[in-house]
């Protein structure tokens, strides 16, 4: 017969799992829409985009990570405003460590951390970097690591972006599309391919978040 302590643990797990399901479902259903995929022509996620978080409280506003964004964007030589705008885009779901892990137990391919990164993308990005000995499952508890990984992922995307591009998009916009839709799709859009609905929605929200991202990283 199970002990009382075991039963209490089981009950707690059920409560957290149910809460994770309800909260993430309210934020768009999949919980992994925006995680980057480094392989060519690999879309960033499978679900429809979740709604942006509105009326964010101070402890949910990505602007609180401005010092980390400025530090890691500088080291990776990417635009701090772009990195912050991506954090705003990725704030469509609550980034609570317990909630993220409960959701991941039900959906193993979900993304982790404030930048919504998949394990394969993190493991590729960390190679040869200062955080090479870190693990993807540390992301929910370590926003600094999440920002650092996102900055270097953008750095790697930039290396694959052609110098001459076709279409109405800035380099930062193309990198954001790569973050959302994958390097292959980014390159195709840079050559003139029209973004799909999901990528266009991501770009629209990036543009909507651009000004406040700039304010957040203003020195």
Tens-digit pLDDT profile for residues 157-193? 999 998 888 889 999 999 999 999 999 999 999 999 9
**pLDDT in the model for residue 143:** 97
**pLDDT in the model for residue 60:** 80
First to last CA, the chain: 61
The rounded mean pLDDT for the chain is 80
pLDDT digits (tens, 9 = 90+) for 72-88: 999 999 999 999 999 99
Q: Is the pLDDT of residue 114 over 60?
A: yes
Cβ contacts of 10 within 8 Å, gap of 6 or more: 2
CB distance 41 to 159 below 8 Å: no
What's the CA gap between 102 and 210, in Å, rounded? 32
Give the SS3 label for residue 104: helix
CB distance 155 to 129 below 8 Å: no
**pLDDT in the model for residue 21:** 43
Place of tokens 């990984």: 149
What's the CA gap between 50 and 57, in Å, rounded? 18
- Please give the share of the chain, as a percent, with pLDDT higher than 90: 63
pLDDT digits (tens, 9 = 90+) for 66-76: 999 999 999 99
Q: Is the pLDDT of residue 131 over 90?
A: yes
Give the SS3 label for residue 117: strand
What's the CA gap between 82 and 32, in Å, rounded? 20
pLDDT digits (tens, 9 = 90+) for 21-59: 444 444 433 333 333 333 332 223 333 333 334 445 456
Q: Which two tokens stand for residue 115?
A: 């930048």
Banded pLDDT at 206 (limits 50, 70, 90)? very high
């Amino acid at each position: 017969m199970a002990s009382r302590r075991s039963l209490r643990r089981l009950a707690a797990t059920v409560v957290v799992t149910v809460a994770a399901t309800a909260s993430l479902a309210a934020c768009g259903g999949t919980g992994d829409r925006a995680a980057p995929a480094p392989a060519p022509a690999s879309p960033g996620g499978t679900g429809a985009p979740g709604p942006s978080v509105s009326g964010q409280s101070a402890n949910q506003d990505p602007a609180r990570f401005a010092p980390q964004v400025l530090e890691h964007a500088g080291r990776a030589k990417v635009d701090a405003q772009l990195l912050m705008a991506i954090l705003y885009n990725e704030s469509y779901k609550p980034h609570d460590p317990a909630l993220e892990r409960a959701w991941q137990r039900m959906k193993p391919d979900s993304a982790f951390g404030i930048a919504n990164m998949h394990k394969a993308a993190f493991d590729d990005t960390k190679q040869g970097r200062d955080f090479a000995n870190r693990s993807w499952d540390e992301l929910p508890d370590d926003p600094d690591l999440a920002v650092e990984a996102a900055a270097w992922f953008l750095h790697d995307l930039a290396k694959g972006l052609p110098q001459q591009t076709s279409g109405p998009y800035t380099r930062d916009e193309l990198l954001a599309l790569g973050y959302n839709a994958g390097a292959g799709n980014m390159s195709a859009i840079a050559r003139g391919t029209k973004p799909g609905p999901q990528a266009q929605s991501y770009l629209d929200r990036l543009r909507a978040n651009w000004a406040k991202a700039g304010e957040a990283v203003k020195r």
